[in-house]
């Protein structure tokens, strides 16, 4: 049981929440919207108050988008390192908002930036979680050619999270086709990893998905726009799409 309270009534004891950079962007074209960050922090704080151990992987798409023009023509690896640094900015913004909400939070970065964040140390991350601190994993996997989805799957497996919560913006979960392009697209409320693979359904990127499948890690894809969803998932309600073995 975690340090900050009881979690007898929650469906999961330790979760990994994947937030894309866009989840922090609000209505902006790019960048971070303080009100949005505050709202996300509020949802995490509510989950924390229920005694759930929470690890977060943040993306960087919201900031990286503003850098895309600069990155054009660059070596792919250089652009990717810029993307990873963008996730650090988001991690710090989220940490600040969480601490304003009185949630003890640590940022661990896969790229060493010792003045602003701890380095990623698995055992230390687990200890923070056990002590009831929210741990934000920044800088993705620390390697170019990967994504923060892969970082989410990797860290979830490493810290033994019971589930990966994939927050989406304005999308309820997994569909049989892209609902924005195909009006006949059907919502899928539950499926297995293997079904998702054979049907070619986009749950997360392929590397990340393979990691979840190999480690029998359940994934819940849900809409972050509904501020009650994380709380409902923790209460055991069926929200969005559940992918499990």
With respect to ligand UDP, which residue has the nearer C-beta, 42 or 144?
144
Binding flag, residue 21, ligand UDP (CB under 6 A): yes
219: left (phi over 0), alpha (psi -120 to 50) or beta: beta
Closest approach of ligand UDP to the CB of residue 141, in Å? 3
104 binds ligand UDP (CB under 6 A): no
* DSSP reduced 3-state for 179: coil
Instruction: Indicate the helix (H) or strand (E) that contains 243.
Output: strand 241-244
Considering only 16-24, 98-106, 120-128, 167-175, which stretch makes contact with ligand UDP by CB under 6 A?
16-24
* Binding residue for ligand UDP, selected from 51, 60, 173, 240, defined by CB under 6 A: 60
Which spans in 72-142 are helix H?
76-100, 122-130
Q: How far, in whole angstroms, is CA 238 from its chain's centroid? A: 19
Longest Cα separation, the chain: 53
61 binds ligand UDP (CB under 6 A): yes
Q: Which is nearer to ligand UDP, 26 or 144 (CB)?
A: 144
Four-CA torsion 192, 197, 200, 203, nearest 10 degrees: 60
Q: Which of residues 132-161 bind ligand UDP (CB under 6 A)?
A: 140-141, 143-144, 146-151
Measure CA 217 to chain center: 14
Establish if 109 lies at the interface with ligand UDP (CB under 6 A): no
* Per-residue x/- track, 73-102, ligand UDP (CB under 6 A): ------xx--xx-xx---------------
Smallest distance from the beta carbon of 143 to ligand UDP, in angstroms? 5
- DSSP string of 140-176? TTSSTT--HHHHHHHHHHHTT-SEEEEEESS--SEES
Residue 51 interacts with ligand UDP (CB under 6 A)? no
132/159 with CB nearer ligand UDP:
159
Question: Alpha carbon of 141 to those of 18, 184, 207: distances in Å?
Answer: 13, 36, 12
Which stretches of the chain bind ligand UDP, using CB under 6 A?
20-22, 59-61, 64, 79-80, 83-84, 86-87, 140-141, 143-144, 146-151
């Amino acid at each position: 049981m975690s340090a900050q309270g009881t979690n007898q009534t929650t469906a999961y004891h330790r979760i990994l929440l994947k937030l894309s950079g866009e989840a922090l962007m609000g209505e902006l074209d790019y960048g971070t919207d303080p009100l949005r960050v505050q709202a996300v922090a509020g949802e995490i704080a509510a989950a924390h108050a229920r005694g759930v151990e929470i690890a977060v992987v943040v993306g960087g798409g919201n900031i990286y988008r503003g850098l895309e023009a600069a990155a054009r023509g660059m070596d792919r690896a250089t652009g990717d390192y810029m993307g990873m640094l963008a996730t650090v900015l988001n991690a710090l913004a989220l940490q600040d908002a969480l601490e304003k909400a009185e949630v003890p939070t640590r940022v661990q970065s896969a790229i060493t930036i010792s003045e602003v964040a701890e380095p990623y140390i698995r055992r230390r991350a687990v200890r923070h979680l056990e002590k009831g601190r929210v741990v934000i994993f920044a800088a993705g996997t620390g390697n170019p050619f990967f994504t923060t989805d892969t970082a989410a799957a990797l860290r979830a497996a490493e810290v033994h999270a019971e589930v990966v919560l994939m927050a989406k913006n304005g999308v309820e979960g997994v569909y049989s086709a892209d609902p924005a392009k195909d009006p006949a697209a059907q919502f899928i409320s539950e499926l297995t990893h293997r079904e998702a693979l054979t049907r070619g359904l986009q749950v997360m990127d392929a590397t990340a998905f393979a990691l979840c499948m190999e480690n029998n890690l359940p994934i819940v894809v849900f809409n972050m726009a509904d501020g009650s969803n994380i709380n409902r998932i923790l209460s055991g309600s069926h929200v969005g799409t559940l992918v499990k073995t």
